[in-house]
Amino acid sequence: MRTRLAWCFLILCAGWYTYDTILTQLPQNTDSDFRGYYLAARHVLRGESPFLAEGYHGYLYPPLLALLMAPLGALGYLTARWVWFVFSHACLLLAAWLVYRYLGRGLLAVCSVALVWAGGRAAGEAVGVGQLGPELALLLAIAYTAADWRQGASLGLGIALKLLPGPCAIGLAMARCWRPLCVAILCSLLGALSWVFASFALAGPPAPPHSTAFLAGTPAVLSWSLPSVALRIMDPTAPGRGLPWANAFSLQSLNLPPAARRVGLGVTAATFTLGIGALLAVTLGRVSRARLPLTMASLTTLTLVAAPVCWTHYQVMQFPGMALFAGGLALRGAWKKMGFAPLCAAFLYPVPVTVLRQMFAANGDVWPNTPVANYFWISTAPVAGLVLYGLMVAEIARSRAPGPYPRFFE
């Protein structure tokens, strides 16, 4: 009976994933976040700096990404968009398989992975706009589940492409995995080398020619991190004002006042300090190799809570860690915690996004005359992330006990 129910659940998850993440997100010849990557790749093919890509979809990443995507610049935009769409889905599915394999390939393992991949929903937005999240999710899945140099290489490449996976290296140090840590550091230098290459081999600016104030945070409504919440509180909106902080979506033109920059950076630093301090306190600065995957996953959660900019689709990077956490709890029969963990994950993306969309449908306005409700729903994700981080830290600190646990529990 349980097997039949599990298969019904898996069929439902597969159907919903296909509909929500594939069928409703098929590429069209319209503008998207991917255009920034595409234009940067075309500039690289012409021997020019990727930072010449202008407009709303300007290029803000290390030159390494544009160099790797240069072959797409030789294609037409829609063709390149399709190639990237298929590649992103391949990354997501490979990441799911890696987590499933690590959890032991059992029925609970596949159900846990399916629940996260189908219920998380952030994957649909990420592939829909052509963002880098699915590729980073795969690199994180490899870093969590692989060993030795592959673990360090995947993490280092993720850092070189985008700095967000960086704090996971703290987990390698806590587990005394020195060889993977050294490999991660060396591979992360590819990002720095790409800046050197862009400076000497490509014509044009070697760095973004616009303001970098966004590194201190943005009050944009779709940036769901604690620094963004703090910046929105500093600049409250008034009823009837329309969509507040509209210019905050264009990070290139964002110009935060000095006081706002101090607050944004202060919240980021305080969140990281307290979060990592709590992890070090309960582990005494050391974790076993078995608990390393969950430790790295928890650091990814903390990063997204504390990051100056955390767009809603960034939550796709939590898929591998969340599946490992939920699967591990299910395999050892911790059903109460298993209930809390998906509840927290639901408030990271699907619940607030669904509520905000319903509010828009009912009012016909992206920011209706209900500021309290809007403030609440665009602030739930970082709070849920903190609670989820706390659950993960508590599980990492759990005392040794007998029982059939997956490999990353002792």
In a domain, 262, yes or no: yes
Q: Can you give the pLDDT at residue 252?
A: 74
* Residues 3-25 pLDDT 10s: 889 999 999 999 999 999 999 99
pLDDT digits (tens, 9 = 90+) for 125-148: 999 999 999 999 999 999 999 988
Which range of residues forms the domain containing residue 309? 30-396
How large a percentage of the chain has pLDDT more than 70? 91
**Of 245, 232, 389, whose CA–CA distance to 305 is shortest?**
389
Q: How confident is the model at residue 400 (pLDDT cuts 50, 70, 90)?
A: very low
- 25 falls within a domain: no
Give tens-digit pLDDT for 46-97: 999 998 877 555 788 889 999 999 999 999 999 999 999 999 999 999 999 9
Whether 38 maps to a domain, the answer reads: yes
Q: Is the pTM of this model over 0.75?
A: yes
Report whether pLDDT(213) > 90: no
Beta strands of 103-169 (E only): which ranges? none
From first CA to last CA, the distance across the chain in angstroms is: 31
> What is the reported pLDDT for 337?
79
Average pLDDT rounded to a whole number, residues 94-112: 94
- The pLDDT value recorded for residue 246 is 60
> What are the tens digits of pLDDT across the range 220-264?
888 999 999 999 888 776 655 556 666 666 777 778 888 989 999
| Nearest alpha carbon to residue 406 among 300, 293, 285, 280 | 293
> Residue 161: which residues within 8 A CB-CB, separation 6 or more?
61, 62, 64, 65, 132, 135, 136, 139, 191
The rounded distance, in Å, linking the Cα atoms of 216 and 231 is 10
Confidence of residue 402 (pLDDT cuts 50, 70, 90): very low
If pLDDT is split at 50, 70 and 90, which confidence band does 118 have?
very high
What DSSP string runs through 355-380?
A: HHHHHHHHHSSSS-S-HHHHHHHTTH
Query: Would 157 be classed as within a structural domain?
Result: yes
Classify residue 139: in a domain, yes or no: yes
Question: Is residue 324 in a domain?
Answer: yes
The neighbour count for residue 401, using CB atoms within 10 Å, is: 9
Instruction: Name residue, tokens 């929105």.
Output: 232
pLDDT reported for residue 405: 43
Q: Sorting pLDDT into bands at 50, 70 and 90, what band is 410?
A: very low
What percentage of residues in the chain have a pLDDT greater than 90? 66
List, for residues 168-194, the tens digit of each pLDDT value: 999 999 999 999 999 999 999 999 999
Spatial contact of 97 and 126, defined as CB atoms under 8 Å apart: no
Quote the pLDDT of residue 401: 40
Residue 61 belongs to some domain of the structure: yes
Q: Is the dihedral of CA 315, 90, 119, 394 positive or negative?
A: negative
Number of domains in the chain: 1
The pLDDT score that the predictor gives to residue 247 is 62
Q: Give pLDDT, residue 233.
A: 87
Sign of CA dihedral 57, 85, 64, 180: positive
**What count of Cα atoms within 13 Å lies in the side-chain half-sphere of residue 127?**
29
Mean pLDDT value across the chain:
89
The answer as to whether 287 is a domain residue is yes
Centre a 10 Å sphere on the Cβ of residue 242 and count the other Cβ atoms it contains. 10
